[in-house]
Amino acid sequence: MPLSWVLLSTWEQLTGEMRSFMERLIFPYLVYDANHSTLFTKRIKTGLIYTMGAKEDQMKLMGYDQSLNIVEMVMKRIFGESESLFVTDTYQFYDYSKYDSSAFDPEKKAKRRKEEFPKDCQKAFAMEFALPKFKGSHLEAKTRHLPILRGFL
């Protein structure tokens, strides 16, 4: 069955919920042989979208991209193909004045959201069309538009 889904992350790791989901998704197909083979018989494309409050340079400096790319590597090993999209410098709050958040410049965050977030959404939309769909199943309607779930780094 084709797979089209979104991944949340927190700090440089997956959230606990996503980590558990990933383990249950991947574990049944693992084979501990010398060839690192998989029991998943089809080759499908998978997509991973990470959203984070960290800026792109911070993400790279902290090594988030490297640790999260391990997930992509495992997805490729098990399912065949995978690609990741990193959406950086996202909102942590809709109203920064309600929180002790002096590390952030709300005006810069708003400007970035206005100018860059639509581009990120277009990349996610393009990514969705490159992924297979759940044809003829009750999931088809749910995968028609790629949901973007927000997590924070």
Angle between helices 16-26 and 64-79 (to 10 degrees): 20
Contact call for residues 130 and 120 (beta carbons, < 8 A): no
Of residues 91 and 14, more confidently modeled: 91
- Residue 8 in this model has a pLDDT that exceeds 90: no
User: What amino acid occupies position 136?
Assistant: G
Six token digits for residue 105: 């410049």
Six token digits for residue 139: 């999931």
- Residue 137 in this model has a pLDDT that exceeds 50: no
Interatomic CA distance for residues 52 and 128, integer angstroms: 20
Six token digits for residue 95: 């109203």
* Per-residue model confidence (pLDDT) at position 52: 86
For the stretch 80-126, pLDDT in tens is: 989 899 999 998 888 989 999 898 899 999 999 999 999 998 898 88
- Residue 136 in this model has a pLDDT that exceeds 90: no
* Per-residue model confidence (pLDDT) at position 138: 41
CA distances from 5 to 10, 89, 139 (A): 17, 21, 12
For the stretch 45-81, pLDDT in tens is: 888 888 888 899 998 998 888 888 888 999 999 999 8
Of residues 88 and 145, more confidently modeled: 88
47 DSSP 8-state letter: E
* Per-residue model confidence (pLDDT) at position 6: 45
* Per-residue model confidence (pLDDT) at position 15: 80
User: What amino acid occupies position 116?
Assistant: E
